[in-house]
Amino acid sequence: MIELIPTDADQVIGLRIRGRIETSDFDEVVGLLDEKFKRHEKLRIYAEIESIGGMSLKAFFKDIQYSLRNFRRFDKEAVVSDKGWLKAFVSVADKLFPTIEARHFSFEEKEQALEWIRS
């Protein structure tokens, strides 16, 4: 499930991820992204990841297609999680996609993450 988190910065999309991600979750996020791309050349992602219970196959393929078409339209991503493997993944992703600055924060650092993603 993906829950949208309101942010006070229009170019920042706030997400909370818990459990399995379905196509309907992905479609809701894409709708919001597409709407915000009408107002902003670049967007930023703030994601609180509490747990990941997988992703439906259809949502996975939609995610890959959307990401490949639009990854240059994002400039920052803050991932908030207490999962060690996500910290390592964010570090690798930061190097693989030099056009997107990605950083990992713990849940205790949520306020720092929000401050960083807005700046």
pLDDT digits (tens, 9 = 90+) for 29-41: 999 999 999 999 9
C-alpha 95 chain-centroid distance: 16
Percent of the chain scoring above 90 in pLDDT: 87
Beta strands in the chain (DSSP E): 2-5, 12-17, 43-49, 74-80, 101-105
pLDDT tens-place string over residues 5-16: 999 999 999 999
Domain count of the fold of the chain: 1
58: domain CATH number is 3.30.750
Question: What is the span of the domain harbouring residue 112?
Answer: 2-118
**pLDDT tens for each residue of 83-110:** 998 999 999 988 888 899 999 999 999 9
The arrangement of strands across the sheet holding 101-105 comes to 2-5, 12-17, 43-49, 74-80, 101-105
- In Å, the largest CA–CA distance within the chain is 36
Confidence at 52, pLDDT banded by 50, 70, 90? confident
Contact (Cβ atoms closer than 8 angstroms) between residue 116 and residue 75: no
